[in-house]
Chains A and B, each alone.
Chain A
């Protein structure tokens, strides 16, 4: 194994280079005064200025964040309820059916989710725009939250609840003082995942946005289809930095969570 050490390092190195090259390529040319993604002519912050002066774009960024935060919050509540519901179902068959239905949206291709939601909203009579985008983001985030919370619930020993009951806790007390604190790391993870899914989603949103409403992904798509514009590069650099901040934040939340449960649970 050891003599392969160098070769395997080179392999990993190449994979990392390829994974990061496009991202740094975008960032590098966001400072190009030449206006194209080749032939770096000179350093400029012009494109960043353009991004910050583009009111329409700023509104779209705001929309994207509002949708992400709202949908993550609502889907976290729904998802936790769902996980509790699945947890409390005793009959195996019902449990498995619920779990299967839960996973349908996770494995479904985005186009199908988008197309079917488009039909659904049109039939119910919901106008395409903010509401339809928000609803669909909630819809596809719920199962992710369930998936993140359910293992935590299953990890919890039932004796904890029995003990709380014996000590005279009401049902609400059991939920708010025993169950919820125990599954908090799962809830945070679920919320965070929902947030990133919502920020990232393009395909579903693309189907259910009407004419007046747009999110960042949809906007980037329509700009990229028109060809290269370095303000997209500048925007992507800003997004990349923001993503890194999010990841670091998530990493610390996770660290905290694993330290809390680190006493003897798993290795």
Chain B
């Protein structure tokens, strides 16, 4: 250290003795130290390389800087060992000291930084954990895929259902449309029916006056001719006048029955609860004379309470009983039986009128209810053929139907149903 003018010669001062002196140049010691240090250095140089390769391959590695620091620190350690090998034979202790100092600095920094890193490194998930999580995630993915598939299927089903619903909706709409049309048609028909009813009423009115007016004249004047006050007829003439009169009388009867047919009102007005027994009694009272004439027996069973128009029901019973009286048997005494029982239809009662009269051919069982329908010549039985038509209309106005059963010569049976009075239950 003679020249202290510059530090450099001191730095590179090679005048010191090598470490070999301390080993007394023994070859075994020399070899031991030189080989060991060389191997350490070699190992220390490969480690940073390995770290570098690792970092290069694993870009996602956490705390990369720590690895770099380690690499640097180990590299520095390697250099110090290499320096130790060199200094066996040379005395570059300044350089080796400087390198040691550098290594110390790097080591210190590394040591200082490695401790706080531990908790952070511990917080990092372990590969097993990651694997478990991964597995969990995998199964989750499988599950989700399944769910997705199910969802897809559900969506498909839903789409199908929506299509189905849309089709149903369309069908319903069409149906609604059709019903509207039907309703309109029905309203139309109802209106037409109302109109025709009004026409019928109108007709009844006209028939009751205008049609009978000329008829009255016919009858009155032919009658006046028949008095003989206005000249005598010969036999033929008298017959002709009588024909005119009979035709006019017949016309009058037809008009009357047509009138009573068209007058059967369809409204519920005047409908009340009444005992059918009473109705039959009233009807037979009106027919008393004819009943006595034909010496008929009328057997009335237990009858129900019904709901309806008293006048109409009375006419119904009167027409049916009158019918039996008209077509009474020629030899045996006439027996008319009137019975009632609860109908198969709820809230209605079935009434039967049976006689042992001449009956009729069953083939006509529907026709006999037609307007002006007659099965007999005018000479045999009187009547306009309106009686049963009126019966049918009355029964239908009371929401029921009437049927006839008969055989020629075996009596007739008429069966019809009427609404039972409310609260009468099955009591008869």
Answer yes or no: are A and B bound together in one complex: no
